[in-house]
Protein backbone atom coordinates (compact mmCIF):
# COMPACT_ATOMS: atom_id res chain seq x y z
CA UNK A 1 0.00 0.00 0.00
CA UNK A 2 1.26 3.47 -0.75
CA UNK A 3 -0.36 5.07 2.31
CA UNK A 4 -3.16 6.71 0.35
CA UNK A 5 -6.75 6.18 1.33
CA UNK A 6 -8.87 4.28 -1.20
CA UNK A 7 -11.10 6.53 -3.25
CA UNK A 8 -14.75 6.32 -2.26
CA UNK A 9 -17.00 7.81 -4.87
CA UNK A 10 -20.55 7.41 -6.06
CA UNK A 11 -21.69 8.92 -9.30
CA UNK A 12 -25.38 9.22 -10.13
CA UNK A 13 -27.52 11.01 -12.65
CA UNK A 14 -30.31 12.73 -10.73
CA UNK A 15 -33.75 13.43 -12.22
CA UNK A 16 -36.31 15.45 -10.24
CA UNK A 17 -39.89 16.20 -11.21
CA UNK A 18 -43.03 17.48 -9.52
CA UNK A 19 -46.31 15.58 -9.69
CA UNK A 20 -49.65 17.18 -8.94
CA UNK A 21 -51.16 16.31 -5.58
CA UNK A 22 -54.18 14.03 -5.30
CA UNK A 23 -56.52 16.90 -4.43
CA UNK A 24 -57.09 19.98 -6.60
CA UNK A 25 -55.63 22.43 -4.04
CA UNK A 26 -52.83 20.21 -2.72
CA UNK A 27 -49.17 20.99 -3.21
CA UNK A 28 -47.17 19.10 -5.81
CA UNK A 29 -45.01 16.19 -4.64
CA UNK A 30 -41.40 16.02 -5.73
CA UNK A 31 -40.30 12.65 -7.10
CA UNK A 32 -36.75 11.57 -7.91
CA UNK A 33 -34.74 8.94 -9.66
CA UNK A 34 -31.05 8.17 -9.65
CA UNK A 35 -29.08 6.21 -12.21
CA UNK A 36 -25.77 4.75 -11.12
CA UNK A 37 -23.30 5.74 -13.84
CA UNK A 38 -21.16 2.64 -13.32
CA UNK A 39 -23.90 -0.01 -13.36
CA UNK A 40 -26.81 1.79 -15.11
CA UNK A 41 -29.05 0.62 -12.26
CA UNK A 42 -31.95 2.97 -11.59
CA UNK A 43 -33.48 3.83 -8.24
CA UNK A 44 -36.85 5.54 -7.83
CA UNK A 45 -37.96 7.64 -4.86
CA UNK A 46 -41.46 8.70 -3.87
CA UNK A 47 -40.25 11.88 -2.17
CA UNK A 48 -37.13 13.84 -1.28
CA UNK A 49 -36.95 12.30 2.21
CA UNK A 50 -36.64 8.82 0.68
CA UNK A 51 -33.90 10.08 -1.67
CA UNK A 52 -32.03 11.59 1.28
CA UNK A 53 -32.23 8.33 3.27
CA UNK A 54 -30.83 6.41 0.28
CA UNK A 55 -27.90 8.81 -0.10
CA UNK A 56 -27.17 8.66 3.62
CA UNK A 57 -27.11 4.86 3.45
CA UNK A 58 -24.84 4.86 0.40
CA UNK A 59 -22.33 7.20 2.01
CA UNK A 60 -22.31 5.26 5.30
CA UNK A 61 -21.55 1.84 3.78
CA UNK A 62 -18.19 0.26 4.55
CA UNK A 63 -16.51 3.41 5.81
CA UNK A 64 -13.61 2.66 8.10
CA UNK A 65 -13.45 4.26 11.54
CA UNK A 66 -10.92 6.87 10.57
CA UNK A 67 -10.82 10.63 10.62
CA UNK A 68 -11.18 12.18 7.18
How confident is residue 60, by pLDDT bands cut at 50, 70 and 90? confident
Residue 3 inside a domain? The answer is no
Number of structural domains, the chain? 1
Asked if the structure places residue 43 within a domain, the reply is yes
pLDDT tens string 4-59: 666 678 899 999 999 987 788 888 889 999 999 999 999 999 999 999 999 999 88
Q: Is residue 23 part of a domain?
A: no
Supply the pLDDT for residue 40.
Answer: 96
**Angle (CA) 49 35 47, round 5°:** 20
The answer as to whether 44 is a domain residue is yes
How confident is the model at residue 62, as a pLDDT? 60
CA–CA dist 25, 20 (Å, integer): 9
Answer yes or no: is 55 within a domain. Answer: yes
Domain that holds residue 49: 12-18+28-60
pTM, two decimals, is 0.70
Amino acid sequence: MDGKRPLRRHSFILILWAEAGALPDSRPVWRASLEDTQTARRYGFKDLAELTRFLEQQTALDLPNEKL
